[in-house]
Amino acid sequence: MEKKSYIGKIAMAIFVLLVAGHFAVIFLLMTALSGKVHYIPLIIAAAAILYIGFVLQIFDVFYKKSKRVKIFWIIAGIILAVCSIQPMYKWIDSRVPTVDAEVDIYQYEPFTDRNKLVQLEQAPKLKLEEPLPKIDGATALYPLYAAITQHLYPNKEYNPYNSEVMVNQTHEAYTNLILGNTDMIFVAGPSDQQVKHAEQNGIKLHLTPIGKEAFVFFVNSKNGIDNLSLEQIKGIYTGEITNWSEVGGKDDAIRAFQRPQDSGSQTALQRLMENTPLMEAPSEDIATGMGGIINEVSQYKNYRNAIGYTFRYYSNEMVKNKEIKLLEIDGIAPTRETIRTNTYPIASEFYIVTAGEPTGNVKAVIDWVLSDEGQALVEKAGYVSLSSIE
């Protein structure tokens, strides 16, 4: 009888193992696919401990001896605590806001009710007919070229992701232009890699400056630093300056975030650094929802010791995050006035870029943007027009 009972217990243990293992594998796969791989060691440890505890109980191995029971659960608790460290860190880290959060692009879609696009007081002298130039560009410039669309294009739907007027990140906009998917893009200047990519496809990029914008650095609003010099910025991004105390702040390690390669702001940083190599940036080891970033530059997280960068308009007008503050550079704040007077030290032009010399309706749009009407729209949209630069 005891032998049958023992065999029955073995059979029960195997059955529970197979059933629990089946559901555990499914659960682990779902966890991995959701990008939460940091929970996997904890899940495996918890499942193993519960199963071992179950087996020990049904076989009465030591459950009648309270001392051994305590030792088992103490060891189990230590294992679970160790496996919980990374999930706890990730949970706490997820509570830190990401500054470059998604912007509601549809609030700038042309010809929609109550969009946020600016409007000139008088109707423009130019009105386009088919064929309409296909436009793409950077998120930070979408409010401008969407307003241009609303002034010059026929009144119809222009979905930001599937129409003649789209919005993408800078590197995608350049790729679309080079591959012939668009006729013109509104962006910051190209990176060396983007120029090379164009040349490999037999294309010479043609850049037409249409306005000027500030490249800005920002920190957590509770950071005591309000001003950095250009040399200090370079020192931080080469890794020579690693602590805020070295630039007059608190004793805290600097987390200097960067953006992905070929983005407009990353190209601006590389131009600023000239030939000085950048330090390795903070990175994520797990996939995220934004295109599955793996071992790449992570999005800016607003830690109290962090520093990041973007363009003034995107920060001030589109994101409007009160948890960050823009730094003065060499004692000059990044404002439209300091851009206009050429006193802010990191201001640069932004462009309409075409694949070769513009012709037809593309040239007509560019000529209009450079006209008094177009430059007035650039200014009214919140950027700095070329015509207003002193």
pLDDT tens-digit series, residues 126-136: 999 889 999 99
Confidence check: pLDDT of 357 > 90: yes
Between CA 307 and CA 313 the distance in angstroms is 18
Question: What is the structure's pLDDT at 98?
Answer: 63
Between CA 236 and CA 250 the distance in angstroms is 15
Q: Calculate mean pLDDT across residues 324-349.
A: 91
**C-alpha triplet 172, 286, 30: angle, nearest 5°:** 110
Question: What is the structure's pLDDT at 288?
Answer: 34
Between CA 238 and CA 331 the distance in angstroms is 22
Between CA 246 and CA 252 the distance in angstroms is 10
Task: Provide DSSP, 51-119.
Answer: HHHHHHHHTTSSTT-HHHHHHHHHHHHHHHHHHHHHHHHHHHHHTSPBSSPPP-GGGG-TT-TT-----
Q: What are residue 149's phi and psi, to 5 degrees? A: -60, -45
Question: What is the structure's pLDDT at 77?
Answer: 86
Q: Calculate mean pLDDT across residues 170-178.
A: 92
Between CA 218 and CA 236 the distance in angstroms is 13
Between CA 250 and CA 246 the distance in angstroms is 9
Q: H or E stretch including 135?
A: strand 135-137
Task: Kindly report whether the global pTM for this prediction surpasses the value 0.75.
Answer: no
Q: Calculate mean pLDDT across residues 338-365.
A: 94
Omega before residue 345 within 30° of 0, cis: no
Task: Identify the three-state secondary structure at position 126.
Answer: coil
Question: What is the structure's pLDDT at 284?
Answer: 46
59-77 pLDDT per residue, tens = 666 555 667 777 877 888 8
Question: What is the structure's pLDDT at 29?
Answer: 80
Domain ranges of the chain: 2-94, 100-390
Residue 325 is which amino acid?
A: K
195 Cα distance to chain centroid: 23
CB contact at 8 A, 334 and 216: yes
Look at domain 100-390 and name its CATH class: alpha beta
236-294 pLDDT per residue, tens = 998 899 999 999 989 988 888 887 776 777 788 888 888 788 777 665 433 233 333 22
Q: How far is CA 86 from CA 43, 92, 202, 255, 370, in A?
A: 12, 10, 49, 19, 54
Between CA 148 and CA 128 the distance in angstroms is 11
Residue of higher predicted confidence among 197 and 140 = 197
CB contact at 8 A, 186 and 141: yes
Residue of higher predicted confidence among 154 and 297 = 154
Question: What is the structure's pLDDT at 86?
Answer: 79
99-151 pLDDT per residue, tens = 554 567 898 999 998 899 999 999 999 999 889 999 999 888 999 999 999 99
38 CB-near residues (< 8 Å, 6+ apart): 86, 87, 90, 286
Mean pLDDT of the chain: 83
Strand pairing class (255-256; 135-137): unpaired
CB contact at 8 A, 223 and 304: yes
| Closest C-alpha among 137, 256, 268 to residue 213 | 268
